[in-house]
Amino acid sequence: MRHYSTYAAIALTAISLATFTAVGAADETGAAVVPGTPCTATAEACVDLGRQQAWLLTGGRVVRGPVPISSGGPGRETPTGTFGVEWKHIDHVSGEFGTPMPYSVFFAPGGIAFHEGPIDHPSAGCIRLPAADAPPFFDTLQVGDEVQVR
């Protein structure tokens, strides 16, 4: 019978734990879910509507968040699914409401975007972010990046 050294056993345990922590569980399709989020490792941004939280992700790891958010209210629900960042505008003004949408990152049909705004009441479908968090979302997310809304 082979005996492994204590150091080898510790190293194998550490590698196993690190792998599990980085990958986490799997979603219904079998894709790895980023620990602490409902999103898979392919996302660059993740939104949990039930918990009203968002994250920035890189390489399957959280780099910012959870961040408190406000999402769409009754009749103006934020769409769920997997989207791609379509375009960005740092000083956008809503054409529908005439209100400022600083640090806008558009990712879903109908003008749905991440942007700075109050998080104490529902939006018209967008994901509102606190003032301290909107610039990092704007700076980090690029056109084509994957956004998952759950």
The answer to whether 57 touches 37, Cβ cutoff 8 Å, is yes
pLDDT band at 31 (very low <50, low <70, confident <90, very high): confident
- pLDDT confidence of residue 10: 41
Q: Who's near 107: CB < 8 A, 6+ residues apart?
A: 45, 83, 84, 85, 86, 113, 114, 147
Which of 39, 46, 92, 126 is the catalytic position?
126
Residue 17 has pLDDT above 60, yes or no: no
Please, what are the domains in the chain? 40-149 (2.40.440.10)
What average pLDDT score do residues 7-11 get?
42
Reduced 3-state DSSP string for 15-80: HHHHHHHHHCCECCCCCEECCCCCCECCCCEEEECCCCEEEEEECCEEEEEEEECECECCCCCCCC
126 is known as an active-site residue: yes
- pLDDT confidence of residue 4: 45
CA pair distance 58, 9, nearest whole angstrom: 30
Residue 7 has pLDDT above 50, yes or no: no
pLDDT, tens only, 113-136:
999 999 999 999 999 999 999 999
Q: Which amino acid is at 143?
A: V
CA pair distance 143, 146, nearest whole angstrom: 9
pLDDT, tens only, 39-74:
999 999 999 999 999 999 999 999 999 999 999 999
- pLDDT confidence of residue 116: 99
